[in-house]
Structure formats: C-alpha cells, structure tokens
Structure 1
C-alpha cells in the first residue's frame, strides 16, 4: 500500500507516531462531516432553527402587507388605466409563499425535499403551520371605486344569514390580524344614483374567527359558486333592466359556465319571470329569493354584487377572453331565436324595402306628428312599423319584431334599448329633445351602439320643434340657458325637459336623416 523504500527511511518509533497522527486526523474529519450533516446535534442548531423560523414568519408577514400580485385581469387593467382600485385581497397567499413547505405540497413527487424537512421536525412543523394559516385566511377581493358598481369576490367558508343581511367568512384562526374585518355593499349597478339605491338592500360582509360566538351554522351546503344581486333600483325600466342588471349579470356569470346560483335580494317575482328565459341560459340552478330564506346557505365561492364598468357596455378589457357586447347580443339571439344576424344591403334596382321601426311613446317626449313621419318614410322607400313595448309585452315576440328591422328610430328614452335585438350593421336614429342632454343621450345609446356593431345617427331638434315653445317665450332660460337647470340637479332637468316636453318633427329637416340612413344601408 505504501513505498517500502520510503518506509525504511524511518525508525519503527517514527512509523508508530505517523500512524497515530493519521488515525487522529481521520477521526476529526469524520466527526466534522457528521456534525455538518446532522445540524440537530450542533451546539448552535437550536439558535439556528429559531432564526430560520423567524425569517420564514417575517417573509410571510411581508407578503401579507403587500397587495396580491395575482389579481384578476379586470382589476389589473383598471389599474393600468390609472383608476384607483380599492383592493382588499391581501391575505391570499396561494400564489406566493416563501416557505419550503409550499414546494412540498405543490409537488408530492419531490420526496427528497420531504426527507430534508423531516430531518428537522421542529422547523418543518412550525413552517407548515405558518403557511397553512396564511392560505386559510383569505379576505374578500373588493372593488369599491368603480364608477357604477361595488362588488366583492369571496372564497372560503362562506355562510349567508338572510335575516341580518350578513355574509360571514369564517376563518379557522383563533384571532384575526386583518385591518379590515367588515365590508358592506349594495349589489346593484347604479351606485351613484341615490334614487335608485334607496330601494337596494345593504349587505354586510364579515370576516370572523371560527371560535367567535353567534356564528351561524350551515343548514344547506352548496358545491357551486353564487352571485348576489338586487332586483330593486330602477328595475322595470327597459334601459335599466339591461344596463344595470342583465348586462352585468351576464358578464359577471360567464366565467362559471352555467354552474352558478343567483341570489336575488329585493326580489321581485314578476321581474325574474319576465327574463326567465335569459336566467335559465345563464344558470342550471334555481334562483333563490335570498331575503326570505331562514336557512343558512353556505358556499365556498361567491361574488357579492355585479361587475359593471361602463354604461350599457361590457368593457372587454376587464373580462377574460375579450367578453363583449357582441357576445351578449349573440346570447340574446340564441335565447329568443332571432334569425337575422345582418341588416339588409340595398342594391339599385332590386326593389328592396328596408324595414324601419318607429318607437312610439304614450306619455312624455311623444312624437306628435307620427303619422306624417310615417308617410314620409314610406315615400322614401321604407316599410314602416310603429310599435311600443310595455311591461306586459311578450318579450320574445317583440325581440323578434325588432330583429326583423334594419332601422330603429325614436326620441331619447328607454324604448331605444331595444336596439340590442337589431341585426349587425342596422341603424339607430336617436331624436334628441331640447335641454342640453346631448351628452347623456350619446352615453346611453350613441356610444353603446358602436360596441353592438350598430350604426348611429342623431337628430337634434330645434326650439320650434319642441312643445316647450307653447309654455315659455323664446327668450326664456329654458331655451337660452339649459345649463342653469342642470345646476339645479337632475330633478329640474327631468321635470322640464323630459317629463313636460313633446316633439313635433320638422319634416323638411328630418328628411335628410332618413336619406342618410338609406345611403348607409347601401354601403354595408
């Protein structure tokens, strides 16, 4: 094993000394390696474990203090646009945890990591407790700063107590360190209008510990998510039915693919019945009139409120897969069996007659010379239908009638909402009365028409076409200074310009608008 010549150069005594030192050195090396591989036996092991645990806890607490980066696309886009977001999704640690146990739980095949952690039970056990606690405590993700609606997305142990209008989120923690433990929302998408919201019930969302007193026990457990909304507000008005309720309900529920339960607060049976065909396509489950429930309904996921970002529009940037008003219109077509997808394309000499629907109004903002307008339109080559939809009107039949038309025309009002049933490339003609409401009229119908692939024309009446000329002299502020009424608030605007005004169209002026519509139908 060694060179005999080299060995003979030393005496037997010197050879023994070399052997002794070799054994001693090997022993020291073996002990050192053992201590390195077994930190539990090292004199500083206990201190080291304590420090490692504290670092893990500190890292977890740092995560709790920062907004969750895994925010749903709608709210991320809103932040990009410079809008403020009141996001309370702080404790959702599902996407970012500094603890080693996360890797173990997410990858059960990684046995080497499991063995490493098992060699040091005190640290592994405590780290698992820290991570589990972080994952189990999930505050609602709420947006309270949107222009039209407030909503909260909730996950966890959710219990709904109807008689107190309270949604409990039950945490397994004995104490809750969250800054906010209670939120409130009125689940209707017109939050800036006091007149609408006065009839909308306020719901409270409470984050509670499992050991608190008076926490309701589940009597009915559901395996599907739920959406809470109110049928109060301005429901019953066709425009608000769609803008405040049906469009937001559609956009909020699409991600669930029919596996969702609607909870209607301020429940109005007649309203749900009117749109039952739509609801049956959006959910495979019954609608619960939640206010009347004595049972405690429990869910693991819930949206309290509706997602609405723009008037009568689905903001595609806020929803996955570019959800839009065109998707909503396709949904309406399939629900109500609307056969026409595109308006007529006029060709010279083909003898075609585009169909024009004139929305008739029975009370305010009436067209007092409907007959004359109808005759002129027919002379220009239109087939004219005069129609008015009421609460008792069969929605399927009326939707099919609108879908058969190429042009929809009327004075600014809820009746123009029926444009949702028009085929693509159809034309909306909005007659705007006096009162400086041009901007309002465009927001309600002009801008949404573009998102629906409907072409838009407007006709602004003059003072001589308004019935107000019979009530006020031409030099009155009603004509000279509508802004003075705007300063008095919506009540003054509505009283004068919407409730007390009718319209008599100047046929000579209006003819050019109808001719322009014909030209658009030739372009297609």
Structure 2
C-alpha cells in the first residue's frame, strides 16, 4: 500500500514536470533565452506563423513609410518606391526599396528599377529656411540596372532614419528643430527604426538619450566612427517639421498632436504631475538670466512673488538646466514658469496641464513671444499670461533715448535694419527693470488660476 502511494506520487510529479515543460509550446510567440541567444518557439515550431509575422512586419513598415508623403508624392512612392516631401519648412525623402548607406561619405544608394540614374541631395535638418552652417548634406543616388552599388558590410532588418543633430546648445533649437520633428517622423514606427545621426554630437545624444531610446530600440549610428556600408530594407532621410514648437495632428504623418507628445515626455522622464492640481502648493520657478534680458531688480521681484503666496525656485544657467532628466522633473513640480523672452521658456513643455507660463515680453519681441511660446502654451493646455513691459522698464531707453524708434516703434527697426541687426538690439542689448506694482497684478492672477485648479 505504502509502495503504491509512493509510486503514484512519483508519477504525479513526473507528469507535472512534463506539463510545465510543454506549457510554452501551447502559446504562440513565446520566446526564451539560452546562453544569451533568443530562441523563438514561433520561429522553430510554427514556421508558417513566423513567415506571416515577417510579412506583417514589412507591411507595417511600408504603411507607415507611406504616411510620410501625400498627394502626388504618395503616388510617386507607390509607383517607384521613392519620393520626397518638400514643404515650406522641411524636406524629407522616403524609400520603400532596400537601400545601401555609405556612412563614410553619407551617400544613400537606392535602386531606380530602370536604366536611368538620378541624384538628389538634401541637408537632413527640419527647419530648411534656417539651416545652421554645420549641417552636412546627404546624397541620394537612384542607380540604374547597369550600376553596381558598393557591397554591404552590415545588414539591418529595420528602416533607417537619417537626420542631423545640427548646431546644439540652445534648448529651443534642440527641441523645436530636432526632437519634435524626430518624434513626428518616427513615433508611428513603434521604435522599430535605426537612427543614423549625421553631424553626430555626443553631447546631444547624451542629453536626449532617454528620448532617443524610446524612439528606437537600438543605439544611434554615428557615421564618423562607423564609416562603412550599411544595408536597410527602407529609409527616411530628413525629418518632418510642422511649425514652431508645434505638432499638427492633421499634417503628415497624421494623428500626432501636442497632447500625445506631452504624454510621451511624461512617460520618458517619469514626470510625476499630470495636472497642476496635483502640485502640493503654489510653486513658481524663475528662469534667471545672467547675460542679456536680465531682470535688473530680480531680488525685489522674488520678495514680491513670495509675499504674494508662492514658493520661489530660482534657476540660473547651470548643470541642472543642461541635465534634461532632472530639469524636466523640477519644471514639472511647479505651478508657474516665469521668464523673460528666450530659449529657456521652451521648458514649458514639461509643465503639468493647467499650470501657468508667464512670459515677460520685452520691446521688439511681441511676434516671437506669442509665436514661439504663447501658441505652444495654449496648444498643450497651459495657461499663458503675458506681461508686456512699458518702454520705461527697458534698458533701451537709457541706451537709445526715449524718443528713439527703437523704443517708440520697434517694428520699424526690423523693417529698416533687417532681422539680424534688429535681433542684436532687442535680444542682445536689452535688460529690464520690472515695475513691481504693475507686475504684482500678473502674479496674483497666476496664483488665482493655480489655486482654483487645486480647489477643484
């Protein structure tokens, strides 16, 4: 009797062990790792399903590549496998055919499917009308049937997205000219792309590594240190640009607006507060400039803001501001962002919804203030308060005189002197001494907005 019971227990354990071993075979697509190698049951036990997945993957990539062009360009892409979208601000080219990229001289070889050979060249930077000087061109050669392209050294299974990291160091241009266009162009692929970064800047890649790693599963390719021939099943050269710090859901590729981008940023940087009502107490971060466009009575401003009821954090240009992961969390923990017109206000993208951005609008900056930062705030659900200084608050009165056209008619300076000379006057020569009594009204309004949100 006792022997039979032991035998039954042994059989039960053996059957259980066999069942556990066989469980993975009951589920499609389950993978495991042996000595670091990925073994797919889908591939080894269900060959038909694996082939179907490969076809589905190719169709997925082809569909999303085609979303990057419209109209006649879309028809051309369907017919020839290659087309370029040229818009007011940006240009990008798409190939659904296999390509070879010689990263030594940044040349893309694309089969034309005929005996004809053509060549085109673009600088893969989003803002084509404002190209920084260091942007290198990328040649695209549509080679004919009688041409032998260079042999492949590396084969990749994902499409390449080629773009330039450009002239970096200014957060507005980094976000506006590169990061948002890169998101617009690549987000739809679900990280299934390889980034090829022309004009590779290690500082840019390090700063935005968290974003780059969410847009691609793979380390970006640096052509300067990887000068060889890479083969890809398809490619995009250049990035799609919508507008200044903007994502237009109706523009190609379609469907991506500012709310989706903000959700992406919150997930990427683990931002804690989705809405200003979650911030425990009214907290204002002041962007303190140390060069031009300084607040000449900044200490008195801070005392007034504290007296109004805010906890105040003062941020100067520092290592903190250059560490986007830490800085984004600091901005996200605040109810109000305050600063004079300048690139630092780009960080409004990290504010929680319902927060307030206060821009001190200096003389000669009305159009840029509203276009770059006011419109962006409104698009992402942030309340925008504009403090337009009186001429007597500007240092330009002392520099040019109260009756100078610089003070009385800033717009005429742009017309008469041109953009660059006018920018030197209004951006590089101007500081401000805030009228505290008048500015307090703006601060009290901001406090009312965020405390009302908290009450709800």
Determine which structure has more spread, i.e. the larger CA radius of gyration.
1
Aligned equivalent of 2:406, options 478, 495, 511: 478
Q: C-alpha displacement at 1:272, in angstroms?
A: 0.5
SS at match of 2:157: coil
Name 1:143's counterpart in structure 2: 85
The answer (yes or no) to whether the contact 2:68–2:94 under 8 Å persists in 1 is no
Name 1:204's counterpart in structure 2: 139
Q: Which runs of 4+ in 1 moved over 4 A?
A: 70-76
Distance in 1 between the 2:270 and 2:93 partners?
A: 34
SS at match of 1:141: strand
Distance in 1 between the 2:75 and 2:136 partners?
A: 24
Distance in 2 between the 1:413 and 1:321 partners?
A: 30
Name 1:221's counterpart in structure 2: 155
- Structure 2 gaps of 5+ residues are 1-63
1:190 aligns to 2:127 (yes or no): yes
Distance in 1 between the 2:163 and 2:67 partners?
A: 22
RMSD: 2.2
1:153 aligns to 2:88 (yes or no): no
- Structure 1 gaps of 5+ residues are 1-69, 80-85, 94-136, 347-351
Name 2:15's counterpart in structure 1: none
Distance in 2 between the 1:203 and 1:74 partners?
A: 19
Distance in 2 between the 1:237 and 1:314 partners?
A: 20
The answer (yes or no) to whether the contact 1:157–1:171 under 8 Å persists in 2 is no
Q: C-alpha displacement at 1:314, in angstroms?
A: 1.1
Distance in 2 between the 1:353 and 1:237 partners?
A: 31
The answer (yes or no) to whether the contact 1:389–1:415 under 8 Å persists in 2 is no
Taking structure 2 as the reference length, the TM-score comes to 0.80
Name 1:439's counterpart in structure 2: 367
Distance in 2 between the 1:88 and 1:331 partners?
A: 28
Q: C-alpha displacement at 1:485, in angstroms?
A: 2.2
Distance in 1 between the 2:312 and 2:362 partners?
A: 22
Name 1:376's counterpart in structure 2: 304
SS at match of 2:96: strand
Distance in 1 between the 2:108 and 2:418 partners?
A: 36
Distance in 2 between the 1:91 and 1:427 partners?
A: 44
The answer (yes or no) to whether the contact 2:67–2:254 under 8 Å persists in 1 is no
SS at match of 2:73: coil
Aligned equivalent of 2:271, options 335, 338, 341: 338
The answer (yes or no) to whether the contact 1:165–1:291 under 8 Å persists in 2 is no
Cα-to-partner distance string for 1:304-343 (whole Å, 9 max, x where unaligned): 0011111111111124562222222222212222111110
Q: C-alpha displacement at 1:446, in angstroms?
A: 0.5
Count of residues paired in the alignment? 388
Bigger shift: 511-520 or 295-304? 511-520
SS at match of 2:400: coil
Cα-to-partner distance string for 1:165-205 (whole Å, 9 max, x where unaligned): 321102443x13x8xx22221111121125x2x21011121
The answer (yes or no) to whether the contact 1:149–1:188 under 8 Å persists in 2 is yes
Name 2:78's counterpart in structure 1: 92
Name 1:129's counterpart in structure 2: none
Taking structure 1 as the reference length, the TM-score comes to 0.70
Distance in 2 between the 1:334 and 1:88 partners?
A: 33
1:502 aligns to 2:442 (yes or no): no
Q: C-alpha displacement at 1:210, in angstroms?
A: 3.2
